[in-house]
Amino acid sequence: MTEGSIGVGMIGHAFMGAVHSHAWRTAHRFFDLPLVPQLAVLGGRDPERTSAAADKYGFAASSTDWRAVVESDDVQLVDVCTPGDTHAEIALAALAAGKHVLCEKPLANTVAEAEAMAAAATEAAARGVRSMVAFNYRRVPALAYARKLIAEGRLGEIRHVRAVYLQDWLSDAEAPMAWRLRKEQAGSGALGDLGAHIVDATQFLTGDLLTGVCATTTTFVPQRPSGSGMEDVTVDDAALFLGRFASGAVASYEATRYALGRKNAMRVEVNGSKGSLAFDFESMNELSFYDGSDGDSAGFRRILVTEPSHPYVGAWWPPGHLLGYEHTFTHEVVDFVRAVASGVDPAPSFVDGLQVQRVLDAVQRSAAKGSVWTEIPIEEGAGR
Amino acid sequence: MTEGSIGVGMIGHAFMGAVHSHAWRTAHRFFDLPLVPQLAVLGGRDPERTSAAADKYGFAASSTDWRAVVESDDVQLVDVCTPGDTHAEIALAALAAGKHVLCEKPLANTVAEAEAMAAAATEAAARGVRSMVAFNYRRVPALAYARKLIAEGRLGEIRHVRAVYLQDWLSDAEAPMAWRLRKEQAGSGALGDLGAHIVDATQFLTGDLLTGVCATTTTFVPQRPSGSGMEDVTVDDAALFLGRFASGAVASYEATRYALGRKNAMRVEVNGSKGSLAFDFESMNELSFYDGSDGDSAGFRRILVTEPSHPYVGAWWPPGHLLGYEHTFTHEVVDFVRAVASGVDPAPSFVDGLQVQRVLDAVQRSAAKGSVWTEIPIEEGAGR
Amino acid sequence: MTEGSIGVGMIGHAFMGAVHSHAWRTAHRFFDLPLVPQLAVLGGRDPERTSAAADKYGFAASSTDWRAVVESDDVQLVDVCTPGDTHAEIALAALAAGKHVLCEKPLANTVAEAEAMAAAATEAAARGVRSMVAFNYRRVPALAYARKLIAEGRLGEIRHVRAVYLQDWLSDAEAPMAWRLRKEQAGSGALGDLGAHIVDATQFLTGDLLTGVCATTTTFVPQRPSGSGMEDVTVDDAALFLGRFASGAVASYEATRYALGRKNAMRVEVNGSKGSLAFDFESMNELSFYDGSDGDSAGFRRILVTEPSHPYVGAWWPPGHLLGYEHTFTHEVVDFVRAVASGVDPAPSFVDGLQVQRVLDAVQRSAAKGSVWTEIPIEEGAGR
Amino acid sequence: MTEGSIGVGMIGHAFMGAVHSHAWRTAHRFFDLPLVPQLAVLGGRDPERTSAAADKYGFAASSTDWRAVVESDDVQLVDVCTPGDTHAEIALAALAAGKHVLCEKPLANTVAEAEAMAAAATEAAARGVRSMVAFNYRRVPALAYARKLIAEGRLGEIRHVRAVYLQDWLSDAEAPMAWRLRKEQAGSGALGDLGAHIVDATQFLTGDLLTGVCATTTTFVPQRPSGSGMEDVTVDDAALFLGRFASGAVASYEATRYALGRKNAMRVEVNGSKGSLAFDFESMNELSFYDGSDGDSAGFRRILVTEPSHPYVGAWWPPGHLLGYEHTFTHEVVDFVRAVASGVDPAPSFVDGLQVQRVLDAVQRSAAKGSVWTEIPIEEGAGR
């Protein structure tokens, strides 16, 4: 470890690997970081593809043995970018080895795995080892600003939350089978892939936790082409659920990859007694805010969240110059590195990740039992 | 009855009375009607206010006895604009007297009343007496056009329906008690007031019926100022439910009067395998339509539904000149009068109104039983 | 003249006749009027079509002699809905006969005619005879509210005005010849038809007058099918001009009927030192307002101008229930009848109409002289 | 020069330096480039600040002598990111030294300088030395896609172009003096800063050139605080002009930094005989497209230009995941490096930059001469 730097070992080099590595390369170019990330080792399964990705992404080395990445002396921080079924094993090993861990969402494929990870993270924190689950949408400036408005009381008492995450890449019933459609790898379908984001985002925004849900899920296309034959889809194609927050606010959620024409519509609305907010990730630089005190000139304000006074924005461009998807990861890296350097626990913690997992689990259990209302146990330390 | 005319007796002269009478006065000025409506008698409770309203609205006479209105020889059609607890009695009497009946929504406050009304309407139809429930949103040109696109198959197989009806006039916890907050008069709260509209609209648009729901309801403000004291609110402030259509499509619904900043946001989205639609009543002249066959220039089209080729529009103004809320009632009158004159049953029928009532009832039963999935019996003849 | 009523004689029964007659029938149904309009006589050229229109619109009588309409004892108010080349003759005769005059826009086809009309109107006003030019967009609630915000100083010093009026019904080069394309009848093309509206609207909103312009006009399709041959188009297809207000604010204008896809996009933006406004007639119930004092939560507010506290709105529906195109005419009738009854001069006056005509004339002169800056003489009394 | 790499020397390290260096660091991480950019030397005035910027941006060295940067053996490509008054001198020296040149816009502060630069670039091209002016908006995927639609004929014959570039950072009359408000450094005000972008963008989109303009400019705030006193603002605060393309299309333009609430509203609309387009840089991932062949379901399509089939997008994220401002520079680098490697001249060339300068010059001359129509000479080779 070079003084003033921190070595990053990343496992996984597909979509998430590409965007995470961009964040690791870019964060210190725009933000003042106490530790400069060094892209040390990239881990993957296939030697040639991993080596090529390491070159492309700027890693100094590559390996097909994730344990070697975790244990490398050049690595002080492990970034887990693999599918959910391997998160627990890698993260637990990394924490045990004293490495800080950034883990992609959802934290795990089961509550049991997530519990083990949260426990290990709590134990590691006592040793000064930090961990964070990569719910990057918390670092969208517009959502970070929305959180600020709510925390300041600009919305008053929260009554309604409605959140959908709509994509359409499975609309075509002829599209081929993929790992995201297999329960053993993905854990669940739209629920874990997309639903996890809106559960975390709404808990983050409100500063509150869901206490119960009722749900229904469906699989529109039960089999898809795979090789020369057809393979069963073993996850949900869409998950819909209603929920209730500890405060008494009511909420509705929907996650689907069949909403034709909606490419990445992660939309959240919050209505309070004094104000309301609306957000759509397809216009991620904008926040709609209704201030009930505006009298007869009240209307939803289209705030371009690109002012220097808005979260994260001061490091970038002048007002009105948009940020993109990858900036959310860069901000995540900034916050994580700063937390590591200053010895504080970053959010969202693995406990927060576990709490999201409990919600997803309650959704599945409700859907399996005639949509009956299902309580969600609250983990000590969640939502801090 | 003047030849070529039809005498209208209207019961109720508040908000709905104002807009219905405008429709009766206006329909034949823009559309060719086989029978010209004559505003014959207006019924109300208070003699002075009823008489003043009759003058204002252009009725030839007024009465404080609704039975006298129903039985008047000058009246061939009874328009029921009262709160829901009186719909059944008035409509049944009118049908028995051989008068055509237009009845405001929701059809009734209970399933039992609605069943009696549907049975009477079916029996009356055999005698040439017509009835219609006033779900006016079917006559928004944009929604009528949306129905056309779906019926033509432009959306393919329907997979998702999401509908909310958001208002905010109860956001202020200090706002006084009102009849709409008392169960004995209103039947239910946001559910019957707003939820009924989106249930009917989505069944109309898809040409399909809901077969089951799970639901939760809440009352945010349990007591409100009434006279010198406080009175209990005995209806829901918000109702949220998930549903499933006969086709297998999944759906979500929310009705509330606490969504601060949303004045009349009756919003519907439908996603099919070939296309999608989105509508917001706050922009009622627009329909968003995504055509999956548009290739890489695909995008939600903001259709201004103001072309002569769009439903109802040809009778009005040139393209781009907007219609307003009251036009939906004018179109309703046009369709009803034409049905009466040509001897066919108009839609939505009382059976359709009953079917909506069954959905509302299932929502309330599910909410009362831990959100458990609740089946909805399908009435013969519904959705035709 | 029945006591408490005012007899209306209308000349012309096409598009403008239809919407004006609706306004005359409807105004007193929603607003308290000191005089109830009586649709007395409708004037037109063709006896059968005029008689049929009179029936349809609800006029008691019809005539093919406009002078008879003007002179009828049943007529106290003459509503001029004909093409521009006949405005002057009819309006002058009506004023001479002591009849109040509502005249469609543009006031006339030439400055000379407009000057004669303004002079006659001023002279008639001294005799208690009122006149108004029908720039109905001043009575769009959103624009009336915008005027209020500017008058209250919410925008500060006005610096920028930009206005376009975009339609597309001439986009098709094969569309046939029409009277609006002949200079002798229409005076000008898009300039008088559409440009007149945005000139008046921006002068109304700012409370200021244009003092000079530079301009260019064009005719995209020089000939169009007419009968069995082709006929020359003798007016502009599009007019673009830049202007300067007395205050020093700069402005840009464009009027065209070739903006494919824009059906009725009369759009105005105003930027001041403290706030900004934006409006689009295709969303006529909305006003966008930016309040510079909103700090880092500033954003253009989408105000639904449907609150009871907004101009004209209280007479209609609850918040969020939209008004349409014809309401602007109803509001015009309300204001004119009230002005007549209370003996005050309504706005926009014929002098205001003349002032608009001066602007249109300056545009044409500039365009004819290499776009050179052309001063606009200010008429005494304009813009009051 | 390492084989397979290209050394970049950059002059200037303020806003443009930050975003250009990001592009040079990032391009080969997402795109396959024949030459990998090496950030060799950064040039600036102040030694400490330049050295710090070099560290921050990742340059291997820094220098306070721009000639040393240009002449460095480690530099094969010079990136000119200084204010406009120094462009000519630096670019001419670099071309003379056989270095490829990327020059920020506007190309120069005067037509004479731009002519010299264009001549030198043409001469250099014959020696295999490439040059490009950095009109980065051509590399916004939505605008590149718009260009493609127009080139394919989807809009038919172009009739209307309207473009505005609205910012608001000078709205406050108390804001201090800055170099952009001094004619000797900036050449002009909003005209060169913002107007240059929309002139280039519209010529790019239409594939056509402006042949004449009429214009007016204004300075709202003639003096601003500077040190302890006040200093004269010697440039335009706003520039408005009308134009005409070679094809006969008419156009309007406005550039201002006083449009309160508009942060970066570079908006372009194009109307053709078959289709129309609209774009707003504040929503830079979207293109509105109206296809006149869509019949009664026609409407402006909100295309999210984030599909793999859209220009540049395939190298980035899945559909619906937005790109930001800096991506336009990354794309510029990609195109320039590829052009250098393959020995072709990239666009926009210095001749294109000169042609834009001619338009700006005509605007200033028209404004100075009573807005008279002013012809624009077309440079051989412009618009290729």
Contact between B256 and A160 (Cβ < 8 Å): yes
CA distance A320 to chain D (A): 5
pLDDT given at position A2: 58
Residue A101's alpha-carbon distances to A12, A44, A211, A342, D359, in angstroms, are 14, 17, 28, 16, 56
Reported confidence tier of residue B309, pLDDT bands at 50, 70, 90: very high
DSSP states of A71-104: H-TT-SEEEE-S-GGGHHHHHHHHHHTT-EEEEP
Among residues D28, D90, D20, the alpha carbon closest in space to that of D57 is found at D20
Among residues C357, C72, C28, C34, the alpha carbon closest in space to that of C203 is found at C357
Whether B321 has its CB under 8 Å from any CB of chain C: the answer is: yes
Instruction: Tell me whether residue B382 is in a domain.
Output: no
Q: Write down which residue in A75, A107, A136 finishes a domain.
A: A136
pLDDT given at position A102: 98
CA angle B366, B367, B369 (to 5 degrees): 65
Q: How many residues does chain B have?
A: 384
Hey, which chains touch C, using 3+ CB pairs under 8 Å? A, B, D
Contacts of B322 in chain C (CB under 8 A): 282, 284-285, 322, 324-325
Looking at the structure, tell me whether residues C152 and C122 fall in a common domain: no
pLDDT (tens digit, 9 = 90+) per residue, C153-200?
Answer: 999 999 999 999 999 999 999 999 998 999 998 899 999 999 999 999
Residue D288's alpha-carbon distances to B282, B335, C276, in angstroms, are 21, 36, 24
The 8-class DSSP code of residue C17 comes to: H
Q: How many residues does chain A have?
A: 384
pLDDT by residue for chain D (384 residues), tens digit each? 456 999 999 999 999 999 999 999 999 999 999 999 999 999 999 999 999 999 999 999 999 999 999 999 999 999 999 999 999 999 999 999 999 999 999 999 999 999 999 999 999 999 999 999 999 999 999 999 999 999 999 999 999 999 999 999 999 999 999 989 999 988 999 999 999 999 999 999 999 999 999 999 999 999 999 988 999 999 999 999 999 999 999 999 999 999 999 999 999 999 999 999 999 999 999 999 999 999 999 999 999 999 999 999 999 999 999 999 999 999 999 999 999 999 999 999 999 999 999 999 999 999 999 999 999 999 999 988
Contacts of D244 in chain C (CB under 8 A): 216, 218
Give me the mean pLDDT over the B129-135 stretch. Answer: 98
Q: Write down which residue in D136, D162, D179 finishes a domain.
A: D136
Q: Assign A205 to helix, strand or coil.
A: helix
Question: Within 13 Å of residue B184, how many CA atoms lie on the same side as its CB?
Answer: 1
| Residues of the domain holding B121 | 5-136
Best residue of C154, C198, C250 to probe chain D, by most D CBs closer than 10 Å = C250
By DSSP bridging, strand C210-218 and strand C374-375 are: antiparallel
Q: How far apart are CA B19 and CA B13, in angstroms?
A: 9
pLDDT (tens digit, 9 = 90+) per residue, A192-203?
Answer: 999 999 999 999
Q: Assign C229 to helix, strand or coil.
A: strand
Contacts of C160 in chain D (CB under 8 A): 238, 254, 256, 258-259
Among residues C109, C34, C20, the alpha carbon closest in space to that of C341 is found at C34
Strand order from edge to edge, sheet including B61-63: B61-63, B36-43, B5-11, B77-80, B100-103, B131-133
Residue C24's alpha-carbon distances to C13, C20, C28, C45, D284, in angstroms, are 13, 6, 8, 21, 47
Tokens standing for residue B323: 């219609």
Q: How far apart are CA B16 and CA B53, in angstroms?
A: 12
Looking at the structure, tell me whether residues B70 and B145 fall in a common domain: no
**Which segments of chain D are extended strands (E)?**
5-11, 36-43, 61-63, 77-80, 100-103, 131-133, 158-166, 210-218, 223-226, 229-232, 238-245, 250-256, 265-272, 275-280, 286-291, 300-304, 374-375
Tokens standing for residue D351: 């001749």
Partners of residue A255 on adjacent β-strands: A165, A239
Reported confidence tier of residue B384, pLDDT bands at 50, 70, 90: confident
Looking at the structure, tell me whether residues B158 and B105 fall in a common domain: no
Instruction: Tell me whether residue A344 is in a domain.
Output: no
Residue B356's alpha-carbon distances to B65, B204, B266, B378, in angstroms, are 30, 11, 17, 10
pLDDT given at position A1: 46
Tokens standing for residue D38: 């090496």
Nearest residue in chain B measured CA to CA from A221: B159
Instruction: Tell me whether residue D270 is in a domain.
Output: yes
Looking at the structure, tell me whether residues B223 and B255 fall in a common domain: yes
Instruction: Tell me whether residue C115 is in a domain.
Output: yes
Looking at the structure, tell me whether residues B22 and B97 fall in a common domain: yes
CB interface of B with C, residues 121-140, below 8 Å: none
ipTM: 0.96
Q: Assign D309 to helix, strand or coil.
A: coil
CATH of residue C262's domain is 3.30.360.10
Reported confidence tier of residue A384, pLDDT bands at 50, 70, 90: confident
CATH of residue B131's domain is 3.40.50.720
Contacts of C271 in chain D (CB under 8 A): 166, 168, 171, 256, 258-262
Looking at the structure, tell me whether residues B214 and B341 fall in a common domain: yes
The 8-class DSSP code of residue C177 comes to: P
Contacts of B307 in chain D (CB under 8 A): 296
Share of chain B above pLDDT 70, in %: 99
Among residues A255, A317, A262, the alpha carbon closest in space to that of A285 is found at A317
Looking at the structure, tell me whether residues B336 and B260 fall in a common domain: yes
Partners of residue B102 on adjacent β-strands: B79, B132
Q: How far apart are CA D87 and CA D105, in angstroms?
A: 9
Instruction: Tell me whether residue C352 is in a domain.
Output: yes
Alpha helices (runs of H) in D295-377, residue ranges in sequence order: 327-342, 350-368
Among residues B78, B150, B120, the alpha carbon closest in space to that of B354 is found at B120
pLDDT (tens digit, 9 = 90+) per residue, C254-281?
Answer: 999 999 999 999 999 999 999 999 999 9
**A153-168: burial string, b at 16+ Cβ within 10 Å, e else:** ebbbebbbbbbbbbbb
Looking at the structure, tell me whether residues A78 and A150 fall in a common domain: no
Torsion region of C248: left, alpha or beta (phi above 0 gives left; psi -120 to 50 gives alpha) = left
Hey, which chains touch B, using 3+ CB pairs under 8 Å? A, C, D
Among residues D108, D106, D98, the alpha carbon closest in space to that of D130 is found at D98
Nearest 5°: phi and psi at B331? Answer: -65, -35
Tokens standing for residue A382: 């969640």
Q: Write down which residue in B136, B156, B173 finishes a domain.
A: B136
Instruction: Tell me whether residue D183 is in a domain.
Output: yes
Share of chain A above pLDDT 90, in %: 97
What is the domain count for chain B? 2
Whether B68 has its CB under 8 Å from any CB of chain D: the answer is: no
Instruction: Indicate the Cα dihedral angle D144, D148, D154, D155, nearest 10°.
Output: 50
* Interface touch D214/C290, C-beta < 8 Å: no
Looking at the structure, tell me whether residues A75 and A146 fall in a common domain: no
Contact between A356 and A196 (Cβ < 8 Å): yes
Residue B1 has pLDDT above 60, yes or no: no
Whether C261 has its CB under 8 Å from any CB of chain B: the answer is: no
Among residues D356, D376, D384, the alpha carbon closest in space to that of D201 is found at D356
pLDDT (tens digit, 9 = 90+) per residue, B3-16?
Answer: 699 999 999 999 99
* Interface touch C318/B285, C-beta < 8 Å: no
Tokens standing for residue B107: 């059809």
Best residue of A282, A286, A287, A307 to probe chain D, by most D CBs closer than 10 Å = A282
Number of helices (H) and strands (E) in chain B: give both, helices first.
11, 17
Instruction: Tell me whether residue C363 is in a domain.
Output: yes
Contact between A289 and C299 (Cβ < 8 Å): yes
> Cα dihedral sign for D6, D12, D18, D19?
negative
Looking at the structure, tell me whether residues C132 and C148 fall in a common domain: no
Query: What number of other Cβ atoms are within 10 A of residue B152's Cβ?
Result: 8
Residues 6+ apart with CB under 8 A from C273: C155, C156, C157, C159, C292, D171, D172, D173, D260
* Interface touch C302/A299, C-beta < 8 Å: yes
pLDDT (tens digit, 9 = 90+) per residue, A178-227?
Answer: 989 999 988 999 999 999 999 999 999 999 999 999 999 999 999 999 98
Whether B264 has its CB under 8 Å from any CB of chain C: the answer is: yes
Instruction: Tell me whether residue A57 is in a domain.
Output: yes
Looking at the structure, tell me whether residues D237 and D323 fall in a common domain: yes
Q: How far apart are CA A208 and CA A159, in angstroms?
A: 12
Q: How far apart are CA C53 and CA B27, in angstroms?
A: 15
Looking at the structure, tell me whether residues D203 and D66 fall in a common domain: no
By DSSP bridging, strand B77-80 and strand B100-103 are: parallel
Q: How many residues does chain D have?
A: 384
Contact between C277 and C269 (Cβ < 8 Å): yes
Whether C314 has its CB under 8 Å from any CB of chain A: the answer is: no
Question: Within 13 Å of residue C144, how many CA atoms lie on the same side as its CB?
Answer: 22
